[in-house]
Homo-oligomer: A and B are copies of this chain.
């Protein structure tokens, strides 16, 4: 029942008429040229480039020419887009300081989106339980299949004073570290090969696995165990234990990760931590409606 590959009939995009334009009157071989170096007209893309830039920087306010300089557009263009965003109540212009800010309305929109992600509702209670059981910091990672990367979006902190913290809201590669290796082996085979073929396997630490074949052997072990233990593969001195979360379509959509300093880790603890993470992850999967899940090897 698991639709691993892409069976026929899956794609419902209707083809439409298709190549009707070319060769109509014999002339105009190149309709709508891409305009080479010149940027096409696209206020929507510009608007979101501005918003992403504003959300990612530290200063909460900005000016017209600052945006134009940073994003390489004409000041008049930046002004026009910002004015449009202002009437849409997405940004606010303060005449006293001559600076723009994001509005509370945009914040409201953002918060509603953030609260809507189903995996969070199912996983957040489990994160707290994991911390109580293990005493270590627990993270929720989500996978984006378009980008083929991973992002941590939630965490519950360990009571220990010494701990490794990982950044939230940043896209990370899958090949190194527990967070990625809790997801990668459970993807469909073609997608795994695409990741291995596309990603540059940089040696982030001495323990990073950089050979594709070595990685593939590791995947087999991870699939059998149902969880992964990474010792210093991404950050020296940091240990990660992770297990995958499956969504309603039985695809991997994220994972639960425990992160702890090597000083508190021992090989004896690995099985205990792994069992706890895998159990918690399978509960989340069940809540999300997945039929398949990870069976923890005893």
Interface residue ranges, A against B (CB under 8 Å): 3, 10-13, 42-45, 47-48, 51-52, 55-56, 60, 81, 84-85, 87-90, 92, 95-98, 102-118, 142, 144, 146-147, 151, 153, 168-169, 171
The answer to whether B88 and A44 have CB atoms under 8 Å apart is: yes
Q: Provide the residues of chain B in CB contact with A168, threshold 8 Å.
A: 111, 115
Task: Answer whether A95 and B13 are a contact pair too, CB < 8 Å, given A45-B87, A45-B88, A107-B153.
Answer: yes
The answer to whether B10 and A95 have CB atoms under 8 Å apart is: yes
The 3 closest A-B pairs by CB, nearest first: A110-B110, A12-B98, A55-B112
Q: Provide the residues of chain B in CB contact with A12, threshold 8 Å.
A: 95-98
Q: Which of B44, B96, B142 contacts A104 (CB 8 A)?
A: B142
Q: Which of B42, B44, B113, B153 contacts A106 (CB 8 A)?
A: B113
- In the assembled complex, the Cα of A108 lies from the Cα of B150 at a distance in Å of 11
A254 vs chain B, min Cβ distance (A): 10
The answer to whether B96 and A11 have CB atoms under 8 Å apart is: yes
A255 vs chain B, min Cβ distance (A): 14
Task: Answer whether A110 and B104 are a contact pair too, CB < 8 Å, given A10-B95, A11-B96, A44-B84.
Answer: no
Closest to A51 in B: B109
Task: Answer whether A48 and B90 are a contact pair too, CB < 8 Å, given A103-B146, A111-B153, A114-B114.
Answer: yes
- In the assembled complex, the Cα of A88 lies from the Cα of B89 at a distance in Å of 20
Closest to A49 in B: B88
Q: Which of B52, B84, B88, B89 contacts A109 (CB 8 A)?
A: B52
- In the assembled complex, the Cα of A114 lies from the Cα of B51 at a distance in Å of 13
Q: Provide the residues of chain B in CB contact with A171, threshold 8 Å.
A: 108
A64 vs chain B, min Cβ distance (A): 11
